[in-house]
Structure 1
Amino acid sequence: MNPARAPAIRSRLALLVLAPLLAAVVLGFAASTTRRPAGDIATAGLLSPWASKRNPLNTYVAKFAWAWTTTLFAAMLLTAIAPPRAVLRYALATLYWLAMTRWFFGPPLFDRLFVRTGGECQLSTAAPADSPYSMSACRAAGGAWAGGHDVSGHCFLLLHSGLFLAEEVLVPLLLLSSSLHPQARTASPAARWAVVAATLGLVAVWLLMLFFTAKYFHGFDELVSGSLLGVAYWFAVYRVRLLPL
């Protein structure tokens, strides 16, 4: 394989992951005839098992998407020699995920946006002066997080994960361990292909989850914002290269 073709092949691999993931969101939204509030668990089973946040794939796979992503990235590091910058890009991708969904000097950015756009924690009793300012705190207090712009966390996380896996797992194992860079081989072909197969399997799960997320949850604007933010890190780091990583 001609090394000069490597950048083009890298780009195509990422786009081959991005295109079906975005298509799943579009098709899911187009297929939707019934949408329900995210907290309406009681009626979820009347629509479909996939309309419930308690379905097994969501409970045990999607909710731990970054843990699965980390596991596959670690497996790649064990089967191919990756440059130190790959670990730095992983650390930055993790910080991006944490800032958006877990913590950003207090509530995460998604929760801050939700409150700024009119959202609040609706409690069964009168809300105290220090009403919960994050979704996790609201749910812990027995309240409902409602009223604001609820960025689709699934669209964000699954796109962010899928694109990271394409660039940092599939590309190294399919290209860097090929004839382009024979010195990068450190494991048997069987081990490398096992990681590739596991990665593609996880991306297939992301496709399924994105379809049903768009079909049963969130409005169009929330799906769009989640998708744009899910693509943002990949676009900035791998396409525009705003950072020298």
Structure 2
Amino acid sequence: MERLERCSRCLRARLVAAAARRRLPWLLLGLVVLGSALKDGELVPETPMQNKRNVLNVYFVKVAWAWTFWLLLPFIGVTTYLFARSKFFYGPTKSVLAALRRLSALLVGTAVWYVCTELFMYIENLTGTCSASSELGEAHQLYATKQDCHRNNGIWNGFDISGHCFLLSYCTLMIVEEMAVLEGLSIDRNARLRVVINSLFVSLCFLTMIWVFMFLCTTLYFHDFSQKLLGALVGLAAWYATYRVWYLKPFSPGLPLPNTPLSSKKYSYSR
């Protein structure tokens, strides 16, 4: 338990700070530029990460939204309930309603993930053609989608916006935003809840590190610069439209730390 507590304090000082949240979008864009430059200059060494079947890609990135969703679900629920009880002195019912309102941010995130990934696939199908070798004497076939092309051992050439850059940037920014609630929440009074929250927090921090690392690997080994940049920009735009614009409005899931003005550089709890 002591190790968990020390680890939580160390990570909180680095990832929950307002400065980290301000710099993270620029860090992600910088990784796109740097990784693409190294890839185009053929300066990237061969590593297992260039294989799409590597463990982190198969068991984490391919289901990145599921990992993010199921770890944020208890974290948002518990911390929002405690925040409402300790800071606003809400009763149990009103605190539960506050938690449910904040949990709706996960539904928004799910909608963002689904709409954007479907849009990316539509654009790739719309802009692509299939290069498939047909047998001698057999008429050349046209395939309407990437899936049909691959089923016939073809290669689909379309504008493939990086879904990894989009989703990993969006998940990373969302997790860091949600962890900001710890700036205004005291968990020292209840030992059991402290262990639960610290465990979830440390898990989210390590998940964030995996997302950033795999984001870097994507920029180093896959896609063209324009595809990666556009994917990352869509992820950043989705984060900005929600946490920096919509969630400031009354009819929204709200921010992890209430009463935070858009112009606030500290983005911290208003005491």
1:189 shift after superposition? 1.4
Structure-2 residue corresponding to 1:79: 78
Letter in 2 for 1:20: L
Structure-1 residue corresponding to 2:226: 221
User: Equivalent pairs: percent with the same residue?
Assistant: 31
Q: How does 1:137-216 map to 2 (within 5 A)?
A: 137-146=148-157, 148-168=158-178, 170-172=179-181, 174-178=182-186, 188-216=193-221
Judge conservation of contact 2:25–2:173 (CA < 8 Å) in 1: yes
Return the TM-score normalized by structure 2: 0.68
Cα separation, 1, equivalents of 2:71 and 2:152: 35
Structure-2 residue corresponding to 1:34: 42
Letter in 1 for 2:168: L
1:58 shift after superposition? 0.8
Q: In the superposition, relative to structure 1, how do residues 109 and 71 fare at CA in structure 2: closer, same or farther (>3 Å)? A: same
1:21 shift after superposition? 3.2
1:139 shift after superposition? 3.2
Judge conservation of contact 1:154–1:226 (CA < 8 Å) in 2: yes
1:23 shift after superposition? 3.3
Cα separation, 2, equivalents of 1:142 and 1:70: 35
Q: Which runs of 5+ in 1 are unaligned?
A: 1-8, 37-45, 102-107
1:176 shift after superposition? 4.8
Residues 100-139 of structure 1 show CA distances to partners (whole Å, capped at 9, x for unaligned) of: 22xxxxxx211222233x312333446645x242x44543
Letter in 2 for 1:97: W
Structure-2 residue corresponding to 1:39: none
Judge conservation of contact 1:51–1:216 (CA < 8 Å) in 2: yes
Judge conservation of contact 2:170–2:239 (CA < 8 Å) in 1: yes
Return the TM-score normalized by structure 1: 0.74
Q: In the superposition, relative to structure 1, how do residues 79 and 215 fare at CA in structure 2: closer, same or farther (>3 Å)? A: same
Letter in 1 for 2:170: H
In the alignment, structure 1 residue 111 sits paired with structure 2 residue 111:
no
Judge conservation of contact 2:77–2:99 (CA < 8 Å) in 1: no
- Which residue, 109, 127, 130 being the options, matches 1:121? 130
Structure-2 residue corresponding to 1:90: 106
1:85 shift after superposition? 2.5
**Secondary structure of the structure 1 residue equivalent to 2:111:** helix
Judge conservation of contact 1:35–1:217 (CA < 8 Å) in 2: no
**RMSD over equivalenced CA pairs, Å:** 3.1
1:63 shift after superposition? 0.7
**Secondary structure of the structure 2 residue equivalent to 1:240:** helix
Larger Rg: 2
**Secondary structure of the structure 1 residue equivalent to 2:52:** coil
Cα separation, 2, equivalents of 1:137 and 1:159: 30
Cα separation, 2, equivalents of 1:35 and 1:153: 24
Q: In the superposition, relative to structure 1, how do residues 69 and 75 fare at CA in structure 2: closer, same or farther (>3 Å)? A: same
Structure 1 residue ranges (4+ consecutive) displaced by more than 6 angstroms after TM superposition: none
1:219 shift after superposition? 1.2
Cα separation, 1, equivalents of 2:191 and 2:113: 30
Letter in 2 for 1:162: T
